[in-house]
Amino acid sequence: MTNSFNGKRILVTGASGMIGTALVQYFMTQGAFVVAHVNQRNLEISDHPNLLSLAADLGNAGAGIDLVKAAGPIDFVINNAARQDVDLLSEVDPKKMAEIFQVNVLSASEIMIQAHAQGAQAIVNLSSIEAVSPRTGHAVYGASKAALDALTRSGAAELAPMRVNTLRLGLIGRPGIEQNWPEGVSSWNQRSPLGRYGAPEEVCGVVDFFLSSASAWCTGSILDFDGGMSAIASW
């Protein structure tokens, strides 16, 4: 699929994170011009003719709209930015909950609406299997991803012909994860039907499919990309 996105302009939010960085690098190799959103300007990824780095705090209402306007004409959007705070539901305060929903749901909604207004062809929202099965301490994060899943369905219906789909991710490995979280990785690998966690590069491949003409008749879909974890009983 080399250079399959030649001449296309793609906005990637949360571009400084592990998955975001992989998405930026991947689509640049596919010939796209990538607009990489970061919370603060990342000089390391700003020096490339096919890359524009834009800083925006998606925790502020309206920042998603301003970000898309600043990005200019865009063909595709990958909503990857998210807050994944760890708090017990009984202890998280309403202000923090609202802040998480602003980044994970409301800014994504703003971006979808403005991208549609600017003629974007397709959007992929990155969700999590915690939308349906959250770990202890991830209640608010899981709820925000469940809301994002619902937003995908609504957006697909209301914003057509722009396509809106979701990739619901399981555990994606990062360097050092086995040393930093041995119990979690061991539990995941033992329970997962495929016996391993995923890689950022694999996420890129599925996002490619959702944005490409191969999925031209696909909208409002939510794909579990979790090594089969969602297919097994949790009891």
Cα gap 145→126, rounded to integer Å: 9
- Token readout for 130 is 């915690």
Catalytic residue among 27, 141, 188, 210: 141
141 as an active site residue: the answer is: yes
Asked whether the CA dihedral 192, 193, 197, 202 is positive or negative, the reply is negative
Cis peptide before 161 (omega within 30 of 0): yes
Please give the single-letter amino acid code of residue 195. Answer: G
Q: Annotate 197-219 with b (16+ C-beta within 10 A) or e (fewer).
A: bbebebbbebbbebbeeebeeeb
Find out whether 228 and 194 touch, Cβ atoms under 8 Å: yes
- The alpha carbon of residue 81 and the mean position of all alpha carbons in its chain are separated, in whole angstroms, by 6
Find out whether 8 and 32 touch, Cβ atoms under 8 Å: yes
**Residues that are catalytic:** 141
